[in-house]
Structure 1
Amino acid sequence: MLNALEIVTTVIVGVMVGVEFCVAFVVNRILNALPEDSGQLGRAHGGRMLGALMPFWYIGSLALASVWAVAGRDRPGAGLVVTAGALLILSVVMSVLLLVPINNRSKTWTPENRPEDWKEQMAAWDRWHYVRVAVIVAAFALLVTALA
């Protein structure tokens, strides 16, 4: 049963990392290159769509890693899982304090109501998102190492 938990946790965290990596290095660059207001409208839609899903994914990943850390506390790699869990906690805290406030504002913007500094706010979100991606990539790498 623990082996199944380890695999499920690793896959779920890995897919989350893939999605967030894609947002950071592919989707946002595509949206930024679109003409006129298309990029801002795409980001607002993405903020609504992913903003509804990601809290469950982040908290679910943290919960699975926590269960793995407790259930596998006597197994090799337990320290790696605990460290990965701590990084996932950091990613949740970063999300709540730094990224979600910007996302909550930007997902309601239209070309008619967006603030003058909307590009600066998006750039700030991008910078924090890069840091968060690095954190969850590190957590994923630790989980994979613990699994191996």
Structure 2
Amino acid sequence: MLNALEVFTIVVVGVMVGVEFSVAFVVNPILKALPEDSGQLGRAHGGRMLGAVMPFWYIGSLALVAVWAVAGWHDPGAGLVVLAGALLILSVVMSLLLLVPINNRGKTWTPENRPEDWKEQANRWDRFHYVRVAVIIAAFALLAAALA
């Protein structure tokens, strides 16, 4: 049963990492290359869509890691699982304090109501997101190493 939990957790976290990586290094660069209104509207739509799903995904991933840490407490990789959990907690805190406030503003913007500094805010979100992606990649790598 623990093996199934470990594999399921790694798949859930891994897919989340893949989505966030693609947002950082594929989707947002594509949106930046579009004409101003199109790129901004795309970011707003993405913010609404992913903003509705990602809280559940992040918290669900963290819950799965916590269950794994408790269930496998005496396994050799337990320390790595706990460290991965700590990194996922960091990613949630970063999200709540740094990314969500910008996303909540940006998802309501249209070409008619966006602020003058909308590009600066989007770039700030991107920088914070790069750091968050690095944190969740590290958590994913620790989970994979815990199985080895």
Q: Tell me the TM-score normalised to structure 2 length.
A: 0.99
Partner residue, 2:116:
116
> Does residue 1:64 correspond to 2:64, yes or no?
yes
Separation in 2, partners of 1:66, 1:2: 13
Secondary structure, aligned partner of 1:110: coil
The code of the aligned residue for 1:123 comes to N
Partner residue, 1:103:
103
Q: Deviations over 1:93-118 (max 9, x none)?
A: 00000000000000000000000000
Q: Following TM superposition, by how much is the alpha carbon of 1:56 offset from its aligned partner in structure 2, in angstroms?
A: 0.2
Q: Percent identity?
A: 84
The code of the aligned residue for 1:139 comes to A
Partner residue, 1:28:
28
Q: Following TM superposition, by how much is the alpha carbon of 1:36 offset from its aligned partner in structure 2, in angstroms?
A: 3.2
The code of the aligned residue for 1:41 comes to L
Partner residue, 1:4:
4
The code of the aligned residue for 1:108 comes to T
The code of the aligned residue for 1:6 comes to E
Partner residue, 2:19:
19
The code of the aligned residue for 2:96 comes to V
Partner residue, 1:129:
129
Q: Following TM superposition, by how much is the alpha carbon of 1:147 offset from its aligned partner in structure 2, in angstroms?
A: 1.5
Q: Following TM superposition, by how much is the alpha carbon of 1:61 offset from its aligned partner in structure 2, in angstroms?
A: 0.2
Secondary structure, aligned partner of 1:37: helix
Separation in 2, partners of 1:52, 1:14: 19
Secondary structure, aligned partner of 2:36: coil
Q: Following TM superposition, by how much is the alpha carbon of 1:35 offset from its aligned partner in structure 2, in angstroms?
A: 1.4
Separation in 2, partners of 1:22, 1:136: 13
- Backbone CA RMSD of aligned residues: 0.4
Partner residue, 1:79:
79
